[in-house]
Amino acid sequence: MSELSVNHLLGIKYLKKTDIELIFNTADHFKEVINRPIKKVPSLRDITIANLFFENSTRTRLSFELAEKRLSADVVNFSAASSSVKKGETLVDTVNNILSMKVDMVVMRHPNPGAGIFLSKNVNASIVNAGDGAHEHPTQALLDAYSIRERFGEVAGKNVVIVGDILHSRVALSNIFALKLLGANVKVCGPKTLLPKYIESLGVQVETNLVEALKWCDVANMLRIQNERLDISYFPTTREYTQQFGVTNKILDQLNKEIVIMHPGPINRGVEITSDVADSDQAIILDQVQNGVAVRMAVIYLLAAKIKQ
């Protein structure tokens, strides 16, 4: 398969396994490119991409912008905080105004679940979901799975535990879809109040004991507590959460095996993970960041190929 089966990247649940394999194989090529002295390729000199971020973001926005510029695309950055959205303009009107300036692709982060899907049905451009509420964050899941593949050679058969705030995490949901599609075994671990009631219907197991989860896994993906989404208190104190679900070197030393530690960022050091763990050789957090640029280059390149047809 040499092209994606979709015209947009709205969520992992819309992709086939062959789509992910194509993205990974393309990312392998771009990983080589970004490690050269000259890190740019002229692949998308005729493509204009608008980055629309209606939520604050640092890593994802920078990663997308860098990926676009590495491909030689023209890039327009849009921040909702300083836009006409504040004056009451609708999402469709905002995007159509931008598209009238001959923009080919829109990368959008939005606080409302399904915003990208809605947009894809109402505007004439390729849409990349850079995170929509607590729904999905497909490129994060792709770069996470790609990083596991890079470390182990394959994702199939690996035991992966996702630890933390599963209830509010778009990263968790997209990771579950991607890992299951690629043949990994997935568990989730966290306080019962932060585990969705439907979670086992997604084909994952639930473990509320962190040490037992770490004994089982090859990879632990640590999620932060999303304080900006917590409308009520889901656990007594941050200190108590850390005591039960925070990963420390002391815990890792008890396992009698080495596991890989991942984190989508930003890290709350001393809460879900201690600094010595985050900075250890077992952690591949900075590898995830580097792989994010290559994976996003692959996604943009493959979607642009569909635009050009």
Task: State the DSSP code for 164.
Answer: S
CA distance 303 to 148: 24
Burial of 149 (0-12, 13-18, 19+ CB in 10 A): buried
The Cα diameter of the chain in Å comes to 59
Report the alpha-carbon angle 7-71-55, nearest 5: 65
Catalytic positions: 59-60, 87, 109, 137
Quote the CA–CA distance of 180 and 200 in Å, as a whole number. Answer: 13
Burial class (CB in 10 A: 0-12, 13-18, 19+), 19: buried
| Contact in structure between 212 and 188 (CB atoms under 8 Å) | no
